[in-house]
């Protein structure tokens, strides 16, 4: 049970595996008014930057679950580096279906709602671990501009225009599921650049070191085609944000 290698190659230098910068992640922690001892569950926790920095800065405790052995190892190393390994724990496992042994104050799935087959299912999953009155974090794409055709949507790594909603409609979707939206932190185009463009150097460095690897052809194709496609489509049409929700 692990992520395909291409994911860890592409994001090998990343500590945050979505288009949220370090500054925005820190600002989100402040906006949520986290207090020492806040218990957090982070499903699809990646390299653990949210839990580890919030443990350092706000004194939270928590558990992260991620399917990637590479990212889980990085998260544990980051916790040790920041001196918070006694406050946060990282489990290698499938986040889909994971429920905390004890109710938490904040339950998060930041950018991986496929673990619940979409927003509604992920909210239902997180709710099983969340105490009454707790806060839920969902990270999700939305359309900054509605694509003019399905080809453009696919170029933004969607399967169809219907995969994502415009921002007001996404907020409305959360509300229709019985939740108040109480905060949000949105990526901007610079956030997207820092997340996506940084992948290209990772790909090139990997290619230079591994020209005869079985994945070399796939990595070369991605490095050749992605920058222009990103600049033409994803950067212009696709937004992304983290939304804080509280059940009504």
- pLDDT tens readout for residues 81-140: 999 999 999 999 999 999 999 999 999 999 999 999 999 999 999 999 999 999 999 999
- Widest Cα–Cα separation across the chain: 56
Helices (H), the chain: 5-10, 22-31, 49-58, 69-81, 119-127, 150-155, 167-176, 189-209, 216-229, 235-237
Q: CB-based burial of residue 162 (10 Å sphere; 0-12 exposed, 13-18 middle, 19+ buried)?
A: exposed
Decide: 62 and 88 in contact? Cβ < 8 Å: yes
- For residue 115, give both structure tokens: 């673990």
Tell me, what DSSP letter sits at residue 36?
Answer: T
Give domain limits for the chain: 5-244
pTM of the model: 0.96
Note the pLDDT tens digit of each residue in 29-71. 999 999 999 999 999 999 999 999 999 999 999 999 999 999 9
pLDDT of residue 28: 98
> Rounded to an integer, what is the distance from CA 25 to the centroid of its chain?
11
- Mean pLDDT value of segment 216-237: 98
pLDDT of residue 63: 98
Q: Does the structure show a pLDDT above 90 at 208?
A: yes
Mean pLDDT over all residues of the chain? Answer: 97
Note the pLDDT tens digit of each residue in 14-26. 999 999 999 999 9
CATH topology of domain 5-244: Rossmann fold (3.40.50)
């Amino acid at each position: 049970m692990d992520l395909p290698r291409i994911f860890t190659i592409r994001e090998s230098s990343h500590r945050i595996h979505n288009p949220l910068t370090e500054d925005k992640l820190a600002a989100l922690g402040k906006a949520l008014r986290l207090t020492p001892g806040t218990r957090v569950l982070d499903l699809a926790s990646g390299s653990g930057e949210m839990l580890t920095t919030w443990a350092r800065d706000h004194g939270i405790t928590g558990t992260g679950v991620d399917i990637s052995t590479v990212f889980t190892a990085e998260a544990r190393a980051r916790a040790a580096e920041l001196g918070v390994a006694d406050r946060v724990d990282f489990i290698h496992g499938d986040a889909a279906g994971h429920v905390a042994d004890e109710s938490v104050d904040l339950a998060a799935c930041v950018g991986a709602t496929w673990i619940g087959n979409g927003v509604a299912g992920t909210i239902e999953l997180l709710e099983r671990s969340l105490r009454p009155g707790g806060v839920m974090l969902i990270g999700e794409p939305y359309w900054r501009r509605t694509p003019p055709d399905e080809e453009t949507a696919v170029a933004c790594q969607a399967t169809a225009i219907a995969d994502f909603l415009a921002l007001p409609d996404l907020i409305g979707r959360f509300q229709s599921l019985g939740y108040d939206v109480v905060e949000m932190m949105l990526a901007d185009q610079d956030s997207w650049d820092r997340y996506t463009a940084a992948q290209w150097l990772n790909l090139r460095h990997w290619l230079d070191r591994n020209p005869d690897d079985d994945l070399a052809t796939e990595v070369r194709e991605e490095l050749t085609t992605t920058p222009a496609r990103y600049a033409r489509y994803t950067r212009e049409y696709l937004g992304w944000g983290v939304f804080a929700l509280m059940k009504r």
